[in-house]
Amino acid sequence: MGEQGVKRAFKYRFHPTVEQADQLLRTFGCVRKVYNLALEARSRAWTDEGLRVSYAQTSAMLTEWKRTSELSCLAEVSSVPLQQALRHLQSAFASFFAKRSEYPRFKSRKRSRAAAEYTRSAFTWRNGALTLAKMSGPLDIRWSRPLPEGAAPSTVTVSRDAAGRWFVSLLVDACVAQMPPPGSAAVGIDLGLSSLVTFSTGEKVPAPRFEKQDQKRLARRQREMARKRKGSKNQVKAREKVARIHARIADRRRDFLHKLSTRIVQENQLVAIEDLAVRNLMGNRSMARAISDASWSELCAMLQYKCAWYGRELVVVDRFLPSSKTCSACGLVRDLLPLGVRAWTCEGCGAQHDRDHNAAQNILAAGLAVSACGGRVSPQRRSSGRAAGDEAGNFMARAMGVPTPAGWGDVKW
């Protein structure tokens, strides 16, 4: 069992003193102010003169801002988080020009994440004690789990959530012990709402529905918040109570998904999942709340990086694969299969299928096809010549133990 070096972030809660909390809150405000000023300057330069402003130019602007009487407060906090804010803005613009994201938006005091990032020059790490620049004394961190032996943080991110909890995230170079390979074990996973995941083995994991469990308590706290006068201290207190309920729901959901994803990666060498368009599915108002509570995207993200850590193969099957409508026994593809139909009988071979289990079996067969033949699995009209996708389709049929399905004759996999 070998080891692989990766960068990992270890997140812990901490309890700052009154002086530390005041200094950190001022740092958060300065980080937000610098980000917004730099964004405004870059936007104005492009709108008025058609010029692109670089990170080096915004860094020079920051020096000038500190010398003004209006922004002299910027010199009272560590300069490293301010420089990091400019680097984050530069990355946001790079993603925008590469068409990977939308145009950067201004940070809001109420809605944006309160955080500050410190690099090596802005903190001291001695014998497990962390002291930030311009901070009185080390942080009182609750070490819920140990750092890897001999690991020293290269970057520290301090944040405060809407529930008033303080967190510190330590980025370290850590060795991830490789799990022993479980042979040729492979699994296909179908994501759903009543059953969060259905495995190709037939096992189903019920959706825990953490948000639904706390729905009544959350609604009561939200009504209390709505009755408070806008901008009052009582409204701030009521908002924190609502945020604590949301934080509890998110923590329980994240813990459940971590345990489930780790189990999947431990037991299988190949994992096949669907590429779901969650944002589009959220447009269905009757299902949006349940889809959000299921958190499919977070589970898929966990599977992605854990498979990379532990040497497993993750295959993401194209979202247009008719996994639910295809018979996993003979390959016949039905024309229609309404969402309310949870079980159906194949007209070709008479096989009876549970909708989710059948989809998971087809996803597994498609994942095996992609793993063996490469390429991608998506239904596309066959061109005049035979392509490599046809070969993958034939392998998919063989993986399911059936001859090349007649229903797949018109598509390329």
Residue 190 falls in the annotated catalytic set: yes
**CA-closest candidate to residue 303, choices 204, 187, 149:** 187
70: tokens are 């209006």
SS3 category, 230: coil
SS3 category, 271: strand
CB atoms within 10 A of CB 281: 13
Compute the radius of gyration of the chain from its Cα atoms. 26
CA geometry: angle at 24 spanning 22 and 28, to 5°?
Answer: 120
**Phi, psi (rounded to 5 degrees) for 164:** 85, 10
Helix (H) or strand (E) holding 411, with range, is strand 411-412
- 124 and 161 in contact (C-beta within 8 Å)? no
> b/e for 136-168, b at 16 or more Cβ within 10 A?
eebbebeeeeebeeebebebbbbbbbbbeebeb
CB atoms within 10 A of CB 188: 29
Residue 274 falls in the annotated catalytic set: yes
**Phi, psi (rounded to 5 degrees) for 283:** -70, -15
Catalytic residue among 190, 211, 293, 390: 190
- 36 and 106 in contact (C-beta within 8 Å)? yes
Q: Which residues contact 7 (CB under 8 A, 6 or more apart)?
A: 154, 171, 172, 173, 174
Residue 347 falls in the annotated catalytic set: no
Catalytic residue among 117, 211, 293, 356: 356
3-state class percentages of the chain: helix first, strand second, coil last, to nearest 5: 45, 20, 35
* Distance of alpha carbon 405 from alpha carbon 413, whole angstroms: 12
Q: Which residues are marked as active site?
A: 190, 274, 356
